[in-house]
Structure 1
Amino acid sequence: MATWKTLLIQDSASPLMEQLNFFHDHTMMVLIMITTLVGYMMMSIFFNKFNYRYLLEGQMIEIIWTLIPAITLIFIALPSLRLLYLLDEINNPIITIKTIGHQWYWSYEYSDFSNIEFDSYMIPTNELNSFNFRLLDVDNRLVAPFNSQIRLLVSSSDVIHSWTIPSLSIKIDATPGRLNQVSMFLNRSGIFFGQCSEICGANHSFMPIVLESISPKFFINWILKMSEI
């Protein structure tokens, strides 16, 4: 049986996505506690018969109900700020991959290796195999090694696109004339799907992203094979 968490958030494939999942759970617990307390107090006010017609002020209770929300916001803000700085941190990358958005496909360049660049188009419905996912699979997947720090350079050749893979906590705009960068670290092997998250025209829904995470050993073999093509 699927839980609410699996319905809302994909399983993490990077340390940063794990931290985002933890922050989501932490914030939800705080919100549940606040909702329960406020709901209980409102119900008790509705159904009790206590009243005091000469009550004009209550400085102590006003101080309390001002300080408690402020302290609660600090417990939410501190982990949030920590995550924001971690998401923007670019460590020493082992591999640099350049991603360029087009209408309506992606092209990839492995800048550290010569003559390795290719386009990635969505596989049309009439060419799908039984193991392919409709509107999600591509003819050429982006291949990257796990347990390696990867830098992604993102740009566009025409309009604004957005390179997004939710399970890796990556969402970065591809802007014409501008080069954006983001850090990526995969902690397991697998195939991860994403889509352009910026409305970029008529075929916006038909430029998916597929990243295949493999071991560094197999990645070296893949690089050697691609260099020979």
Structure 2
Amino acid sequence: MRFLTVLGALVASALAFAGTPALADQPVEWQISLQEAATPLMEQLIWFDNLLLYIITAISVFVLLLLVIVMIRFNAKANPEPSKTTHNTLIEVLWTVLPVLILVVIAIPSFRLLYDQIVVPEADLTIKTTGYQWYWGYEYPDHDGIMYDALLVEEENLQPGQPRLLETDTEVVVPVNKVVRLQATAADVIHAWTIPAFGVKIDAVPGRLNEVWFEATKTGTYYGQCSELCGIRHAYMPIKVRVVEQEEFDAWIEWAKQEYAGLDTNVSVAAADGEAGAQQ
């Protein structure tokens, strides 16, 4: 009876949480679903994830049904004289062919999705990001080489509405419905630039320039974090991307050219190193 009570509570909780809409910009407490898609790639990822969920659920139910049948029909009480059957040709063919067909069903959309992720279409904008211990540096090579760093806003400095461990002092700004090529590298150890709502995750490796792409279809502010264990402050190098209309992006570019003109990034490096030393 106690088991049924606990099981009922878990099922009710799962249904309640499943009905809670996921935010596109950041995770929510007790969220069990993926974040709401903000790019076509993420939409494909969610569709593929749901497909796999349906398949594995069907397999699990089928195997459970077979186990129940075996326990009921082939136990010692129901079969005082056990069968001496050693094989069944039809069953052996089915348990070989059906898994192959299931894998083909999974493989076709999987390869298509992998292709769409890897092959970068003609880009409207290129952004280069460099991972440092422990913050991100950004560069807009298409716009007079705008360069700046983005550091975590510490908890005591957060303003109302700013999420803890996700807010940065500067932000990446991109136009909506435009293809953005993101090039990633690192200056020290391996980092990973990740925005869950975009379906984007790319390793930033020292001495190597990797690239990925995204096309945000919704305006708003989106958050991510470094997804590669990179040292003592790995959990403190978030990512913030603001998606705006083209007119607002053009205005931001003109502002950024003035704001970040002649910016000495070594100042940010020294500040981050000093902060890391204080933490140690």
After TM superposition, where is structure 1 displaced by more than 4 Å over at least 4 residues in a row? Answer: none
Work out whether 1:47 is the aligned partner of 2:72. Answer: yes
Could you tell me how far apart the structure 2 residues matched to 1:115 and 1:182 are? Answer: 19
1:150-229 pair list within 5 angstroms: 150-229=180-259
Could you tell me how far apart the structure 2 residues matched to 1:58 and 1:70 are? Answer: 19
Could you tell me how far apart the structure 2 residues matched to 1:76 and 1:207 are? Answer: 35
* Overall identity of the aligned pairs, in %: 36
Work out whether 1:85 is the aligned partner of 2:115. Answer: yes
Give the corresponding residue for 1:37.
Answer: 62
Q: Secondary structure at the match of 1:8?
A: coil
Greater relative contact order: 1 or 2 (C-alpha under 8 angstroms, separation 6 or more)? 1
1:65-144 pair list within 5 angstroms: 65-144=95-174
The one-letter amino acid paired with 1:44 is I
Could you tell me how far apart the structure 2 residues matched to 1:53 and 1:16 are? Answer: 53
The one-letter amino acid paired with 2:37 is S
Residue 57 of structure 1: how far off its partner (Å):
2.2
Residue 226 of structure 1: how far off its partner (Å):
1.3
Deviations 1:172-192 (A, max 9, x none): 111111111111111110111
The one-letter amino acid paired with 2:18 is T
TM-score (norm 1): 0.96
Could you tell me how far apart the structure 2 residues matched to 1:127 and 1:61 are? Answer: 66
Give the corresponding residue for 2:7.
Answer: none
Work out whether 1:21 is the aligned partner of 2:46. Answer: yes
Q: Secondary structure at the match of 1:197?
A: coil
Could you tell me how far apart the structure 2 residues matched to 1:164 and 1:115 are? Answer: 23
Moved more, 46-55 or 10-19: 46-55
Corresponding residue to 1:2 among 6, 17, 25: 17
Could you tell me how far apart the structure 2 residues matched to 1:52 and 1:202 are? Answer: 62
Residue 204 of structure 1: how far off its partner (Å):
0.7
Deviations 1:104-148 (A, max 9, x none): 110100000115111100001111111211111000011111100
5+ residue gaps, structure 2, are: 1-15, 23-31, 260-280
Residue 52 of structure 1: how far off its partner (Å):
5.3
Could you tell me how far apart the structure 1 residues matched to 2:143 and 2:160 are? Answer: 34
More strand by share: 1
Residue 160 of structure 1: how far off its partner (Å):
0.8
Residue 54 of structure 1: how far off its partner (Å):
3.0
Deviations 1:24-80 (A, max 9, x none): 111111111111111111101101135752312211211112111111111111111
The one-letter amino acid paired with 1:177 is G
Could you tell me how far apart the structure 2 residues matched to 1:128 and 1:63 are? Answer: 63
Larger Rg: 1 or 2?
A: 2
TM-score (norm 2): 0.79
Q: Secondary structure at the match of 2:91?
A: helix
Q: Secondary structure at the match of 2:230?
A: coil
**Kindly tell me: are residues 115 and 34 of structure 1, through their superposed partners in 2, closer, same or farther at Cα, counting changes over 3 Å?**
closer
Could you tell me how far apart the structure 2 residues matched to 1:216 and 1:206 are? Answer: 31
